[in-house]
Structure 1
Amino acid sequence: MPPRPPAEPRFAADAMLGRLARWLRVLGWDTFFDATVHDPELVRRADAEDRVLLTRDRHLLRALAPRRHIEIRHDAPLAQLVQVVRVLDPPPPAELFLRCTVCNGVLSAPVDLDQARPLLPLGLRHDPPTPVRACPDCGRLYWPGSHVRRMRDALVRSLPGWLDAAGREGSAGANR
């Protein structure tokens, strides 16, 4: 069955699509990714959790027949992301960088700078960036560093016009 456009997209990405999974998380979309999960378990989980399975593996699609899937046809992660957005046509997120790009956890509200300061790199402790958010699942800290601007620019170049309302200042991006 072709994927339907979800209000809140939820995905499961196969082992070949780790970088795509990170970009989907940058957009704030719940994306299961674990390179150690075997294909039958990945399909079972995607179907049980009503996730769109993302894969480049045609054999997986034929043999395991996931209910909702997109066969990814590009090599470059941003081209893969563009394909997903074009196929599903979801609304752009209101804000970027709300999920941990590593473990998919939902980032906390801004944390107290006095608590975050000792965990920040030495160069940022004197004048810490704001906001600093934490992943409650893996403990990583996120803040708006220069990479956030570069990632936002890459998204705007890849998806011109689509992100106009998303990713306003104050979004925290992955740093640690």
Structure 2
Amino acid sequence: MGRSRRPRFMADAMLGRLARWLRVLDFDTRYQPALTDHQLVELANAEGRILLTRDRHLVRFLRPDQALLLGSQVPLVQLQEVIGACRLPPPPRLFRRCLLCNTPLCPARPEDLSGRPPPLPPDGMAPVFQCPHCRRLYWPGSHTRRMREALQRALPDWLPGG
């Protein structure tokens, strides 16, 4: 499945943590918990997104064009369900999307870091990325290490090491 053919997702209000994990894996995943079920289905259909939900009623009565009904309440198990059901390929790299707003990240410029440097490793050579939409900074730190470790435990045969 080529990059242009990667599925895009819409997560319902109960799946915010799943949306973040999909974004870590660089899958375009919209999450707008304030939308009504009708608005959610309408937007997912209009944008050709697979609607991720645990709500059987939503799937049965609103009939989204593409939906995946998840069984688990555990975000990393939900992630396993999505990967299996959609036959998703492992991403070439992790942490390429803003975890808050889903926008692809760009390398931060020195002027973007002025006055707000992230805690860098001792060599000071860690790459820093910025969301061009919400301006949030991202860098490899203990939080990304813990997330990588959690993904490796949850997806040992799917996610390449490192």
Counterpart of 1:93 in structure 2 is 91
Q: How does 1:1-176 map to 2 (within 5 A)?
A: 7-108=5-106, 110-113=107-110, 115-121=112-118, 123-124=119-120, 128=124, 130-164=126-160, 168=162
Give the superposition deviation at 1:82. Answer: 0.5
Q: CA RMSD in A?
A: 2.0
Q: Between the two structures, name the one with larger relative contact order (CA 8 Å, sep ≥ 6).
A: 1
- Letter in structure 2 aligned against 1:53: L
Give the superposition deviation at 1:163. Answer: 1.1
Identity percentage of aligned residues = 51
Give the superposition deviation at 1:119. Answer: 1.6
Q: Distance in 1 between matches of 2:59 and 2:43?
A: 14
Unaligned runs of 5+ in 1: 1-5, 169-176
Report if the CA contact (8 A) 2:120-2:126 is conserved.
no
Hey, which bits of structure 1, 4+ residues long, moved more than 2 A? 112-115, 123-129
Give the superposition deviation at 1:115. Answer: 3.7
Aligned length: 159
Unaligned runs of 5+ in 2: none
Report if the CA contact (8 A) 2:128-2:138 is conserved.
yes
- Letter in structure 1 aligned against 2:115: P
Give the superposition deviation at 1:126. Answer: 8.8
| CA displacement, residues 126-176 of structure 1 (integer Å, 9 cap, x when unaligned) | 9645211100110100000011111111111111121116xx5xxxxxxxx
TM-score by length of 1: 0.83
- State the SS of the aligned residue for 2:9: strand
Compared CA separation, residues 30 and 51, structure 1 to 2 (3 A): same
- Letter in structure 2 aligned against 1:52: I
TM-score by length of 2: 0.90
